[in-house]
Copies of this chain bind each other. A is one copy, B any other.
Amino acid sequence: MELLHTDTLEEARRKLEEQSQGLAPGVVEIGRAEALGCICAEDVVSEENVPPFPRSTMDGYAIKAADSYGTGESSPGYYRVTGHVHIEEEADMTVEAGEAVRVQTGSMIPRGADAVLMKEYAEEYVSGKLAGYRAVSEGENIIRAGEDIRAGSCVIFRGKKIGPADIGVMAALGIQKIRVCRAPVVTVISTGDELAGAEEKLMAGKIRDINTEVLAAEAEACGMAVRKTCRVPDDREEIRNAVEEALDKSDVILLSGGSSKGEKDYTKQVFEEISHNVFTHGIAIKPGKPTLLAFDPASGTILAGLPGHPMAAALIFRLVIRDWYLKRCGAARPLPCPAVMAENVSSNHGRVSCLPVKLRMVKKTEGSGTVTVEAVPVHAKSGSIFALASADGYVMIDRNREGLKKGEQVLVERLD
């Protein structure tokens, strides 16, 4: 009886991070509009104030706020309208005590003015006289220069996933290009004599290849670039050829199937021959134990042997490869969702478990909070792809635990 030496998940992650230092850093400069969804590679610092000058946030009259104090519906204040600032113009006048300058939403505020009286609370006469029916405080209805973005401040941090509002921040600052993390180039290989393509008619004994497509989609979904997917028989030479073909063209090679102790197990041999550097021979996790990790220093390629079971392969991809990529980019892990277990779950003492769960909102009638999120375990064997598709996230069960109790709080990592 041969026993595998297995790493803990943390050991495997740490080794992968250390071993893959040699992988090309990967920063690429791209245009603003293409940056949506990319991870920012360097802090972006503003060189300008936004807005560049004080602006009115209302249609109305720029005045000195002090002039309006004590005025109101029944005791209007009176002002002399001395000009108008169109929104595309520079305000080249000064507002003195008792004066008002007509402004629109977005107009530059003239010197001397420190508030805007909304036009809904004012009445302008043909004579140029203005009655104001409300007191305004200093700064009211004005956005100050730099109030949105101050020159010199960091507006997009390294590691941030660039969202629509970040595109807006760049547009506001006239930033045309941004340095983002280069997407690792990924090759996905499935091995197994039993695998048929999705387009083939199934012969007895054959099943369809799920892993190639799930892993390619997982890689794409987290921002990696999938260059090629292929399927090879459980033949040492063919596996070796497929891996060698991909070496110089890939940052990461995902090879699934063939990493259990089956009699046709060539993944480990091939990885060892090529890299002389297989550093993880199994991870103490359920599902996902038969995971191999190697780094080939010559080509700078991560070689990952993932489990053959689809759910296990997808989860290990997330827990190890995606985690490595996000850490490397300095990206914050997405905030998990606190939830309470909807039922008891048992787990293997001695190795960590990754339990897929569905989330559901439950209205409570008592207590301070009115809503709670429940995590409902998705019970399935590690081969089940539908179970994973049904899950909203997963819960990690510590290796020192024998399970989770109904009502216990857990942190759910989301799968979306």
Contact = CB atoms under 8 A, between A and B. Distances in A.
Given A88-B206, A262-B104, A381 B57 contact: yes
A314 B171 CA distance: 14
Nearest to A149: B386
Q: Please name the 9 residue pairs, one residue from A and one from B, whose CB atoms are nearest each other, closest first.
A: A164-B217, A168-B214, A88-B193, A165-B389, A90-B204, A369-B409, A171-B213, A167-B217, A87-B194
A165 B314 contact: yes
A377 interface: no
Contact of A217 (B168, B369, B409): B168
A330 to B, nearest CB: 17
A28 interface: no
A44 to B, nearest CB: 11
A143 B263 contact: no
Interface in A99-156: 104-106, 108, 119-121, 143, 147-149, 155-156
A383 interface: yes
Nearest to A310: B168
A33 interface: yes
Taken together, the copies of this chain in the complex come to 2
Q: Of A120, A165, A172, A216, which is in contact with the most chain B CB atoms at under 10 Å from its CB?
A: A165
Interface residues of A, number: 113
Contacts of A234: 87
A175 interface: yes
22 contacts: A1-B121, A52-B202, A52-B207, A59-B263, A86-B193, A87-B205, A88-B205, A91-B205, A106-B207, A106-B262, A108-B204, A143-B384, A148-B387, A164-B220, A164-B314, A165-B385, A168-B211, A168-B385, A171-B212, A171-B214, A335-B359, A371-B409
A28 B4 CA distance: 49
B381 A147 contact: yes
B385 A172 contact: yes
A327 interface: no
Q: Of A106, A216, A370, which is in contact with the most chain B CB atoms at under 10 Å from its CB?
A: A106
A382 interface: yes
A385 B156 CA distance: 12
Interface in A167-212: 167-176, 192-194, 198-200, 202-212
